[in-house]
Amino acid sequence: MSSLAIPSAELPSRAPLWRVVVIGLFLVFMIVPVLATALFSFSVRWDRTIWPEGFTFEWWVKVTSKTAFRNALLSSLFVSAATVAVSLALVAPTVYWLHTRLPRAKPLVEALAILPFGVPGVVLALGLIRLYSSVPLPIINTANILVASYVVITLPFMYRSVMNALEAVDTRTLSEAAQSLGANHVLVFLKVILPNIGAGVINGSLLVFSAAFAEFALANLLIGTRFKTFPMYLVEFTRFDARQASALAFISFVFAWAISLAILWVVGRGRRPSKGAGQTKPA
Amino acid sequence: MKSSSTSRWPTQAWLGLVPFLAFALAFEVAPAMMLAKSAFTGEAGLSLSNFGRAMTPAVRSAFVNSLGLSLASAASGTVLGALVAHAIVTSRNAGVRHGLTALADVTANFGGAPLAFAFIITLGSTGVVTLLLKQVGIDIYPSFRIYSIGGLAIAYVYFQMPLAVLLMIPALLGLRREWREASVSLGARPLEYWRYVAIPILRPSLLGCFFLLFANAFGAYATAWTLTGSAVNLVTVQIAALVRGEVQLDPALADAIAVLSLVIMLSCVAAYQLLVRGRGATT
């Protein structure tokens, strides 16, 4: 706690002790659980001794050879991809339209796009069930409702990513140049605007994909066991086989890592003056 | 051409927003309205009676637990995250700065079932760190349990702290070197610089960060469910049990609980928007 008082010690050029301690503890806290999970998934047994009693691929082979594993993985990939597709089709043109044709409506759309940050998954699930369970349409209990609800909860990521990218581009000049050459609105959007906001669109898509891939509450409450996503499959395993569950958990970690690193790479390539690292999503 | 048509036909421009507005109405606004309508409808029309009747001892304790857990994990997440962010931005080594920011970026997106399971592996009753501590003579069980609300708080800090790091880095980068030099040349000691100069400047960012983390914790479900089942009574766990029909309760009472948690969450997100985004837009 008193380390707040020490920063003046940084005037000399050597790394001061407080910083080494703070960064060291942070690294330990953030890395140990992930490392332990990875190691545990390769351990013959690791609940009596301080080091695993031998290493094996048995749990990995066991858990990945099941059909249910492949089905859950495919379900999650399918739902996440569908969410990205719907979100892109819905949000990107809307944001473009809002920015170029109807800036007056920005506060309204922005409110609708940011509010889902404040809607717990369980509450959204309850609302959707109340609203649609008596409607004679194939909505509740299908993957459709799951995709729709994922598009809602990921609206803030897609909206902010695309809007930030769009605000950094001189859309007016670009559109007018294209239109003077005879392009219509659709063509301007697809051929001129989209390539210019590519980094933002990819960034938003990756954020949406990773959020949809990891989501559990809505999947569990809206469709139950009929359509098992990867996180549901993992939770099921944590109840009866820790070693196989640890392999599944590690797969989730690697997946989340890969997407986050892809985002950092895309943002880094986007050469735009960075607004800091604050563009992320809460868990 | 384009701008004149916009002003002459404002309704035409609004048509472009119809797909987005229709989607938001169907899957975001209408479900929330449905819950609100049922929650505020008593036997004799508009009433608050459902909120009073919903406060059974179990529900009251769920709110106490959820608020306490959110408060504790948001406060410690903000303070620790700000400390780590300060260590990162004052580091002279670019590799350290980029590496740690990337780590925070990746881990802020971890959460839910895999994280909960990683903590069982690490700090569970036969967890890796638990065994290690036992070896050196520190027996943390049974006085500590990862499957309790205290254990949950530790797991929450795992995704809260990196999020705070990402939110605080831009604010800390905004602290100018001259401000410290000026206060030092006026005779301020480091502690006084922090107390009278830096912290007041950082206050909106710190508060905004706290509110976002609070909402982040309050709405979380998967982590708690995987780690503790329904052993720790939280608002989201209660709502999920109501959705699954495990607890019998008048639908209007369930909706009142959902609406109450929605109000808490939305106030936090609104506070964050006003404190951080609102300021960011004007500067």
Instruction: Give the mean pLDDT of B188-203.
Output: 89
SS (H, E, C) chain B: CHHHHHHHCHHHHHHCCHHHHHHHHHHHHHHHHHHHHHHCEECCEECCHHHHHHCCHHHHHHHHHHHHHHHHHHHHHHHHHHHHHHHHHCCCCHHHHHHHHHHHHHHCCCCHHHHHHHHHHHHCCCCHHHHHHHHCCCCCCCCCCCCCHHHHHHHHHHHHHHHHHHHHHHHHHCCCHHHHHHHHHCCCCHHHHHHHHHHHHHHHHHHHHHHHHHHHHHCCCHHHHHHHCCCCCCHHHHHHHHHCCCCCCCHHHHHHHHHHHHHHHHHHHHHHHHHHHHHHHHC
pLDDT band (50, 70, 90) for residue A5: very low
Distances in whole angstroms, Cα of residue A281 to Cα of each of A85, A141, A252, B125:
19, 28, 17, 32
Residue the block writes with tokens 């035409």: B12
pLDDT band (50, 70, 90) for residue A13: low
Partners of A43 in the β-ladder: A55
Among A274-283, B9-18, B43-52, B254-263, name the one with the lowest average pLDDT. A274-283
Query: What's the token pair of residue A83?
Result: 């969410």
A32/B2 touch (CB, cutoff 8 Å), yes or no: no
Chain B positions in Cβ-Cβ contact with residue A148 (cut-off 8 Å): 23, 26-27
Q: Rounded to a whole number, what is the distance in Å from the CA of A209 to chain B's nearest CA?
A: 12
Chain B positions in Cβ-Cβ contact with residue A29 (cut-off 8 Å): 158, 161
Instruction: Give the mean pLDDT of A109-138.
Output: 90
Among A169-173, B144-148, B168-172, name the one with the lowest average pLDDT. A169-173
Category of B137 on φ-ψ map: left (φ > 0), alpha (ψ -120 to 50) or beta:
left
Residues 90-109 of A with CB under 8 A from B: 90-91, 93-94, 97-98, 101-102, 105, 109
- B240 or A283: whose pLDDT is higher? B240
Among A73-87, B63-77, B106-120, B229-243, name the one with the lowest average pLDDT. B106-120
B27/A149 touch (CB, cutoff 8 Å), yes or no: yes
- A244 or B4: whose pLDDT is higher? A244
Instruction: Report whether pLDDT(A7) > 70.
Output: no
B112/A231 touch (CB, cutoff 8 Å), yes or no: yes
Sorted by sequence, the CB contacts under 8 Å of residue A152 that are 6+ apart come out as A116, A119, A124, B24, B27, B28
% of chain B with per-residue pLDDT over 90: 51
- Which of B17, B159, B244 lies at the smallest CB-CB distance from A102? B17
A247 Cβ under 8 Å from any chain B Cβ: no
The amino acid sitting at A27 is L
- B279 or A83: whose pLDDT is higher? A83
The ranges assigned to domains in chain A are: 2-41, 66-269
Whether this model's ipTM surpasses 0.90 comes out as no
Among A256-265, B161-170, B256-265, name the one with the lowest average pLDDT. A256-265
Architecture of domain A66-269: Orthogonal Bundle (1.10)
pLDDT band (50, 70, 90) for residue A262: confident
Spell out the domains of chain B, with CATH numbers in brackets: 55-282 (1.10.3720.10)
Highest mean pLDDT among A29-33, A186-190, B269-273: A29-33
pTM value is 0.87
Instruction: Report whether pLDDT(A106) > 70.
Output: yes
Instruction: Report whether pLDDT(A8) > 60.
Output: no
Q: How do residues B109-163 score in pLDDT, each as one tens digit?
A: 777 899 999 999 999 888 889 888 888 888 888 788 888 999 999 999 999 999 9
Backbone angles phi, psi at A215, to 5 degrees: -70, 140
Among A53-62, A223-232, A266-275, B265-274, name the one with the lowest average pLDDT. A266-275
A17 Cβ under 8 Å from any chain B Cβ: no
Query: What pLDDT sits at residue A170?
Result: 84
Query: What pLDDT sits at residue B247?
Result: 77
Sorted by sequence, the CB contacts under 8 Å of residue A270 that are 6+ apart come out as A165, A199, A200, A203
Q: What is the mean pLDDT of chain A?
A: 85
pLDDT band (50, 70, 90) for residue B3: very low
B240 vs A220: CA distance, rounded Å: 9
Instruction: Report whether pLDDT(B191) > 60.
Output: yes
Q: What is the mean pLDDT of chain B?
A: 88
